[in-house]
Amino acid sequence: MDNNTRALLINGLHEIDPVLAEVLDNPRTKIERVESSLLKTFAIYFLFKLEGFHPLKCYVGANKAGKVFLLSGNPSAFVEMIDQERIKLENDQAAADYFSLFLLVTEYTGTYYYVVNSAADVRFAPELDETEQEVKADFIKRYTPIIRPPVAKFKDDEFIVNSYVIEENALELRTGFISPAGVIIIEKKVLEENLPLVIYL
C-alpha cells in the first residue's frame, strides 16, 4: 500500500486509537484494501502485523478527507460510515454483498472467526480421533445441503439475509435484517458447539 494511504490512516487513527496509529506507523504492518463495489466515498482496509502467537488484525474505513472509522468489533462505526456513504441497496444481490462485508469487517478480531459458504469451508483439525471423525462425517453429511453463500430476500420493506459463521468451535447462523439505507439488525443462533476444529488467531 502506498505511503499516502498509510499516512492518511495514521493521522485519522490518532484521534480514535493512538496505540493502533503507532503500530501502523511501523512499516512491518501490512495494509490491504478490501474490494467492494458498494462503497464510493469510503474504502476499507485490513491491517495486519505478525506479533508472536497473537497477530494484530483489524479493519478500518477511511475516505480521502481523512475521516477514519475503526470497524473491527464496532458494528455501530460501520453503520455510521455507511450513513455518511449514503448507500442505497437496490436489489437482493447488493444486500447479500452488504451483509457479507458487514460480517467480515465488524467482528472482533481477537476471536477465532470466519464466514463459511459451504460445509467444506469448515476447518476441522487435521488429526482427529475416532469419535471426532464421526462428528466430522455427521457434520458434513447434515450441513452440505444447508450451508450456502448469503442470499437476500426483500420482505416488508427490508432485506433478510442468512449467513453461516464459525466462531471459536461453534457453527452459528447469522440473520441480518437490513433496510435499503443499510441500517442493520443481527440475530445470532448457535447451531453446533464443541466441534473438533482448528482454532488459532
Task: Please tell me the distance from the alpha carbon of residue 22 to that of residue 145, in angstroms, as a whole number.
Answer: 46
Q: CB under 8 Å to 38, separation ≥6 — which residues?
A: 87, 94, 97, 98, 101
User: What DSSP designation does 119 have?
Assistant: G
Grid cell locating 153: 430476500
pLDDT < 50 positions in the chain: none
Q: Domains along the chain?
A: 3-87 (3.30.720), 109-192 (no CATH)
Between the alpha carbon of residue 151 and those of residues 40, 103, 109, 192, the distances in Å are 23, 14, 25, 21
Look up the pTM and report it.
0.89
| Predicted local confidence at residue 81, as pLDDT | 95
| Predicted local confidence at residue 201, as pLDDT | 52
Amino acid at 147: I
* Residue recorded with cell 500500500: 1
Cβ atoms 47, 92 nearer than 8 A: no
Q: CB under 8 Å to 105, separation ≥6 — which residues?
A: 34, 44, 59, 61, 71, 72, 78
